[in-house]
Amino acid sequence: MRKYIFCGLMLLAASTAHAQRDSLAVYIDAAMNNSPALARQYQAYKAQLASACGEGQLSDPELTLGFYPEAMNHVNGKQVATFSLMQMCPWAGALKSGREQKEAQARASFQEFRQAVLDLALDMQRQWFNMLSTQEKIKSVQRQRRLLADIQRVAIYQYKNQTMGRNSRMSDQLRIEAEDKRIEEKKASLEDELRLLGQRFNLTMHRSPEAPLCLPDTILLNAMPAVDGTQLASKDPTIAQLEAQQQSFAAQDRMAKAQGMPKFGVGVEYMLNGKVDMPMMANMNGKDMWMPMLKVTVPIFRRRTNMARQSAQLMSQSAESGILQRQDALKAAYLDIENKAADVDRKVKLYDSETEILNKTLRLMLDEYANGTTSLTDILQTQREQIDYDLQRAEAYAQYNTLVAEMERLAVSHDFTISKFKE
């Protein structure tokens, strides 16, 4: 298959499901650590986390400096300069609420990143099982070509050793050659499909499309995990994200309420005075002055505050509705996967049984053909049926394993860890 290497590297036993999972786990880890999309989302989360760490601090104090080009005389002499320092303090709880809002937003961003991680893992598994299924189809077609070669050898033997029916045996050979070309074309088409699937799989790992891949020799059915449908919401990243958003909106409401209250400012003013030639109040001549200051804002215009609180409350209600909607979606997805898995499982058993029967039938028909009791038409028809069953069987295996992966994703059975990304 050109540049693709299908071998047992990294597999202790290619014939076991554990080996398949181990091999797949290596590629999933590579995809996660190399994904630009995941890196972008993680960086966005870290940015929000850094923003949260900067919240909850008082605003910078205000320093005012004033100088008089022409000093103004007063009882203390002449006023040269004025210095004032003012620190504004918001209502109690405003700073804390602002920090809690940013922290909740960062948690929501991390859950969004976590969801992307799980989705990427599921996408890798889907692609993996499609590749294994296509590889299995190629092997099935190759087996049918070998069987067709056996039929052709029987036809040649009959042609060489029989005087009667030579023309019919010659026509059989031509039909076998035509059937072989049809099967060969099917094999080439499947090989092209497998090559394309491999290229896409490599691109998902953010590496060269032509990089070699290591696939197990066969596709095996994975076991469906035992999942409690009532506990799906406890690990779901989407619900965790909505809950974090709800906490963010609640903090936003508290912050808007606090910002609508008076703000207080405390400060001091210092006046620098120079001496003047005045006999009065000589003890005060040139003496600097200072005075404490208190500043209070008067929140008269409440419309902005009220609208901000209303917006936060409505968004919190929206998040609550989103949680309920997601819970219903999880239950529906759980039932859908269960029903699909049961249906595919029945098909798998049917295809396994039919494939075994057709294998035996074809061998018997080959013997009958050698004895002249079965026509080539019957053999070719049976062989085509077997090819169809083999292809459907391979697809059913991939479908069932994909459903297993979807169930594991739904229940977050594997919360993948990424070495370069940490919460």
Task: Mark 65-97 as b/e (b = at least 16 C-beta within 10 Å).
Answer: eeeeeebeeeebbbbbeebbebebebbeebbeb
Q: What is the pLDDT of residues 197-224, one digit of tens each?
A: 999 999 999 999 999 999 998 888 999 9
Give the mean pLDDT of 252-269: 90
- List own/partner pairs for 57-60 with CB under 8 A and 24 or more apart: 57/95, 58/87, 58/88, 58/89, 58/95, 59/88
Q: Which residue has tokens 């006023």?
A: 79
Phi and psi angles of residue 75, each rounded to the nearest 5 degrees, phi first: -65, -25
Query: Tokens in use for 95?
Result: 């700073």
Cα–Cα distance, 78 to 287 (Å, whole number)? 10
Cα–Cα distance, 216 to 21 (Å, whole number)? 10
Residue 420 has pLDDT above 70, yes or no: no
Q: Would you mind telling me the total number of residues written for the chain in this entry?
A: 423
What is the largest distance, in Å, between two alpha-carbon atoms of the chain? 152
- Over 1-39, what HEC string results? CCCCCCCCCCCCCCCCHHHHHHHHHHHHHHHHHHCHHHH
Cα–Cα distance, 4 to 211 (Å, whole number)? 8
Give the mean pLDDT of 220-244: 92
Higher-pLDDT residue of 423, 230: 230
Q: What is the pLDDT of residues 54-105, one digit of tens each?
A: 888 888 899 988 877 776 666 667 777 889 999 988 988 888 889 999 999 9
Query: Which stretch of 70-84, 156-170, 190-204, 371-385 has the lowest confidence by average pLDDT?
Result: 156-170
CB 416 within 8 A of CB 118: yes
| Planar angle of CA 101, 102, 108, nearest 5 degrees | 90
DSSP result, 310-329: HHHHHHHHHHHHHHHHHHHH
Q: Which residue has tokens 């890196």?
A: 39
Q: What is the pLDDT of residues 101-133, one digit of tens each?
A: 999 999 999 999 999 999 999 999 999 999 999
pTM above 0.75, yes or no: yes
Task: Mark 321-348 as b/e (b = at least 16 C-beta within 10 Å).
Answer: ebbeebeeebeebbeebeebbeebbebb
Q: pLDDT band at residue 376, thresholds of 50, 70 and 90?
A: confident
Residue 419 has pLDDT above 80, yes or no: no
Q: Enumerate the domain spans of the chain.
A: 17-34+101-138+204-259+303-411
Q: What is the pLDDT of residues 267-323, one digit of tens each?
A: 999 988 776 766 555 666 667 788 899 989 888 888 888 999 999 999 999 999 999
Residue 389 has pLDDT above 50, yes or no: yes
The CATH code of domain 17-34+101-138+204-259+303-411 reads 1.20.1600.10
Give the mean pLDDT of 323-343: 95
Cα–Cα distance, 249 to 198 (Å, whole number)? 45
